Structure 1
Amino acid sequence: MNRSRALPAAVVSLTAATALLLTGCGGGGDDKDSGKDKIAGADEGGKKSSSPSAKKSEEPAIDRPDMKLPSDVDVVFEKTSLPDADQAAAAKDAENFVTAIRHGIVKQDPEDAAYKFYSEYQGPAFKYAKDLIKKNVDAGYTVTGEQKFSGTKVDVVKDKKSAVVSFCSDATKFFSKEVKTEKVHRTQPSVKDFASWEILMTASDSNKGLWRAKQAQVRDGAEECRS
């Protein structure tokens, strides 16, 4: 079985090019955003918000879903320092969205609550996550090993309601595993193991401090992500 198709780093073909994540996607923060608002000015991101620490202290605790992974699955995100509280929150929940997909696969549940919590309901990212989990379940595959993510960058647009989070992934030590036999399908490391990610995140109006994935662009074979 082709590992790039079995693993969560598969390419998702959206109706728009990656550039649309910055210029033409819906930017509302509602949990069921209609997608009609346009994101513009992503190059204006990175501005510091006033008193980010005070802002964080005012926000109520978010009741997040449990995403405990089995001992043989490790999703590692390189630590990064971001100057803005909104950037940090968007990046963290983009990471949570990625982890949620793996959680759905190991749980063998296309209706897993985790990815639904971290994506806009029935949006492109929601459907991408569900489809990827379902394909693995239908094929009888789960995952095992370690996948690393690095080079996180965040562009927050001027309305502070949308952000594009990008990073690279390394799946050279991440493999598909047959659920019934537990046979691991190991492959030799190659450029196909590296992927470039861009996730459009939107801030939730009803759950302050929470960001959800609206769209996801994942490109396998990303030479620039190969160290």
Structure 2
Amino acid sequence: MPETYSLPTATATRASYGALLAQTMFLVAVAIGFTVLGSYFGGGPGDAEPLSRGAAMGCTIGAIALLFASNFIGALRTGPPAMGVLFGAALLLGLGLGPVLHTFLDVKPDAVTKAAGTTALVVVAAGAGGSLVAKDLAPWMKPISIGLLIAVAVSWGMLIFGGGGGIAGDLVSIAIGGFSAVAIVVYFNVLRQRATEDDVIWIATGIFIGIYNIFVTLLSIFGND
């Protein structure tokens, strides 16, 4: 899943790091809530059937389209439109993930628990690392995002044309998760070093997408154990 990237602007007054962190993580938490809600309905609540493979993929593609649109349309990066993109993409990603989670919870529920727990640990470590590093890591943002986009493109190519299983598929998944973890380090570093309130939403979006990527990667790894 692609992540947005942009260097912060100097158009807004810079608030304290604590205030920026609280705002950012609140948005991330709400986005995760939308994903959980989407996965609940996408997985078929009660006696309902889960979304079909095609419908789930359509939801995921819709989320990607929203994120790409926010990357190229400045009006979608701040204010209510940006929050709409974040929460809309989160809901669509949840709907797309719902059938997969439904299957894992029926067949291998411990994989979901392990993936969620390990994701939390990775994010806490990445966030702490980014906050503690004194060097400004903003220049890393673009190359990391490009590397992630390449890995995601390869993953989709494998999905469409075959060859996504085995060691190759695992390596691509690990690459996506690894790039996402490093991206979270950079996002927290930027949040501490130079971000303003104008940057909170797109940084929250990047952190959320990183969390999603890491969780899906770990779910794949633990599911194949």
**TM-score using structure 2 length:** 0.27
Which structure dedicates a bigger proportion of its chain to strand? 1
Greater RCO, 1 or 2 (C-alpha within 8 Å, sep 6+): 2
- Please state which structure has a larger fraction of its residues in helix: 2
